[in-house]
Amino acid sequence: MADLEELGFIIQPHTSAGRIPTDLGYRFYVDHLMKSRQLTIKEEEVVREGLSTVKIDIEEAMHQTLKVLSHLVEYASLVATIDNKTRVYSSGFANMLKQPEFCDINYTRQVMETLEKEDLMAEMFKEYTTTGGVTIRIGSENSFKEVKHCSVVMSSYEAKNVAAGGLGVIGPTRMGYAKTAGILEYLSRRLENLLEG
């Protein structure tokens, strides 16, 4: 434990507390220890049922995808379309309140106000979905000061081989990264299939 603390992977917030991972510790986990996670049969069923009613309507596809994502993760969920103007849809604010980190009302209010700033969320999507695949930004790694105490996980999707938008999750730094990344990757591919169809 002392070695991990000296390396900056864990900290002891106060004398009587146990050790908790730092942003660096979580980054090491994500980069070197995290194994890709397949969706469970039940999760795949939720996706299939949630998207089965979608016709060729981008608005409906966004809302249904957001509904499914919000159901599968216990964090704030976001879906964006990149057109001439990026439009961001969000849900799952109540999910955030189940997390102990959000017991501090001032902190929670700041995060919720941030999520309501569509321009800021659009900028975040543009920056975090340029690489393809899943992007994970942990706490202080975030370029946006408003979410420096949260983790942001985002995945891009395409329509006809052109970047069309992204899916994202904002939650505490101790989130289940493997589950979240797996769900975002799977949903992105399903959304691409819908848009191709």
**What domains, with CATH codes, occur in the chain?**
23-196 (3.30.450.40)
- What pTM, to 2 d.p., does this model score? 0.92
pLDDT at 132: 74
Provide the token pair at 66.
Answer: 């957001």
Owner of token pair 């999507």: 125
Cα dist from 185 to 37, 102, 155, 181, whole Å: 10, 26, 6, 6
Owner of token pair 């969920």: 77
pLDDT at 56: 66
pLDDT at 128: 93
pLDDT at 54: 81
Q: What is the pLDDT along the chain (197 residues), one digit of tens a residue?
A: 888 888 889 988 777 778 889 999 999 999 999 998 999 999 999 999 999 888 767 888 889 999 999 999 989 999 999 877 889 999 988 888 888 888 888 888 888 888 889 999 999 999 999 777 899 999 999 999 989 999 999 999 988 888 889 999 999 999 999 999 999 999 999 998 888 86
pLDDT at 197: 66
pLDDT at 161: 82
